[in-house]
Amino acid sequence: MHERHCGIRLYDKLHEQSDAAASLHFCASFRLLPVRDAARGVSHAHLRLLRLRCAEDLRENWSTRGSLPGFSSARVCAARALSRVSAEAEVENLSGLSPNPDRDIFVVRENGSTCMMAEFAVKFLIPFDVLALNGIDLITEQTSVSIPRGAEIAGKCGARESELHISWVNSAFTFRIFFLKENRMMGSDGNAEESEVWKINKVQLVYDTSDMTHFVNAYNPGKHTASTHRLSALVTPAGRSYVCAAQQTLTLISTDHQKGVTVSMYDIQVQAFDIQSDFIFSEPYKCITDQREQLEQMLPLVLGLILGLIIVITISVYHFHLKLTAQQQPQLPRDRSLYKNM
């Protein structure tokens, strides 16, 4: 209600000013418009993008409009709106825009531009202990956990290192992905060249077995951390996005008696560095599994084309051979009287 009230006050103040303040007025009021109130036929992704664009317009216009007479009340509201915009513009959970309910979309922005994008579906298989019926022995059970649509995200981008943090269920679960850019030798031994790549070098899951929704009757509940060790996953040439529809499985070792937590990611497109355009991935780099599957799908077609070509060539050669043989055979006279002289 405070945001809506502040938006109305800002609207009224700007309405009293000249048309030069129209852009600022529109952006400030639009920023406070809930997504559900948007006009039909407008993409939610465009609404998100327009809000971010409006944040920049507000900043630019504020320096020139802030000194207008009678603008003090609106100035306070605009400052509050700007503080909220600045905070929200850093990270965006756009999972609600995904047509696949299991696939999440996360965006991290810094300095007004997109610096990280991640789209993937992920499931966690987490083991935990429960007390047996005899009240003495422990039984290990497993629970399947996925990221809900309303998850909170945080992240940071760097020239060589980036991070994405995803939390849900009141921080009972926190999934962290660490990205690293490095130089490595690529190619065969004879023609190996140093090139720049980026990769995931660490994955971490913090989970709380006190959450009764997922860990029913957990023994000795509490927080645990599962992490990878010496990970090098999703290795991608610099300036490109990693794409993989196939499932990628990682095993994390937990502080809960060294139990193994399984992380299964699929339908992936991620780029942690060098994004050139807002909300747009760079040229995709397909994973080896997808390349192999694509080759396996194309192989029957290629073999069919080759077989068809061989059949056509064989029939053509045979037909040509028949014509050539027919031309070389002696022609028998059609007049029967000529047979007497033979």
pLDDT of residue 22: 43
pLDDT of residue 320: 81
Q: Higher pLDDT residue, 325 or 129?
A: 129
Is the pLDDT score of 183 beyond 80? yes
Classify 60 as helix, strand or coil. helix
pLDDT of residue 174: 96
Q: Tell me the pLDDT band of 32, cut-offs 50, 70 and 90.
A: very low
**Cα–Cα distance for residue pair 68/227, rounded to 1 Å:** 55
End-to-end CA distance of the chain: 118
- As a whole number, mean pLDDT of residues 208-215 equals 94
Is the pLDDT score of 227 beyond 70? yes
Is the pLDDT score of 334 beyond 90? no
* Cα Rg of the chain, angstroms: 33
Contacts of 108 (CB under 8 A, 6+ apart): 90, 91, 92, 114, 115, 116, 117, 153, 155, 156, 157, 162, 164
- C-beta separation of 204 from 176 below 8 A: yes
Classify 140 as helix, strand or coil. strand
pLDDT of residue 214: 94
Classify 288 as helix, strand or coil. helix
Its sign, for the CA torsion 77, 80, 84, 85, is positive
**Cα–Cα distance for residue pair 244/229, rounded to 1 Å:** 22
- Fold of the 95-286 domain: Porin (2.40.160)
- As a whole number, mean pLDDT of residues 72-76 equals 43
pLDDT of residue 18: 38
Q: What is the mean pLDDT of the chain?
A: 75
- C-beta separation of 145 from 126 below 8 A: yes
Is the pLDDT score of 216 beyond 60? yes
- As a whole number, mean pLDDT of residues 15-35 equals 41
**Cα–Cα distance for residue pair 327/315, rounded to 1 Å:** 19
Residue 76 to residues 32, 129, 171, 241: CA-CA distances in angstroms? Answer: 15, 54, 33, 41
**Cα–Cα distance for residue pair 160/196, rounded to 1 Å:** 11
- C-beta separation of 129 from 139 below 8 A: yes
Contacts of 215 (CB under 8 A, 6+ apart): 126, 128, 143, 209, 221
Is the pLDDT score of 71 beyond 80? no
Q: Higher pLDDT residue, 48 or 320?
A: 320
Is the pLDDT score of 281 beyond 60? yes
Residue 268 to residues 32, 285, 287, 297: CA-CA distances in angstroms? Answer: 32, 11, 10, 20
Q: Higher pLDDT residue, 4 or 181?
A: 181
By residue count, the chain amounts to: 342
pLDDT digit string, tens, across residues 90-122: 788 898 888 888 899 999 998 888 999 999 999
**Cα–Cα distance for residue pair 209/195, rounded to 1 Å:** 43
Predicted structure pTM score:
0.63
**Cα–Cα distance for residue pair 148/169, rounded to 1 Å:** 9
Percent of the chain with pLDDT strictly greater than 70: 65
Which amino acid is located at 114 in the chain? T
Which residue is associated with the tokens 């990769």?
199
Is the pLDDT score of 271 beyond 90? yes
Nearest residue to 252 (alpha-carbon basis) of 233, 235, 236: 233
Percent of the chain with pLDDT strictly greater than 90: 43
pLDDT of residue 333: 59
- As a whole number, mean pLDDT of residues 147-163 equals 92
pLDDT of residue 336: 61
Q: Higher pLDDT residue, 88 or 275?
A: 275
Q: Which two tokens stand for residue 138?
A: 């422990």
Nearest residue to 59 (alpha-carbon basis) of 88, 92, 86, 29: 86
Q: Higher pLDDT residue, 154 or 14?
A: 154
Q: Domain segments of the chain: what residues? A: 2-90, 95-286, 288-318
pLDDT of residue 10: 37
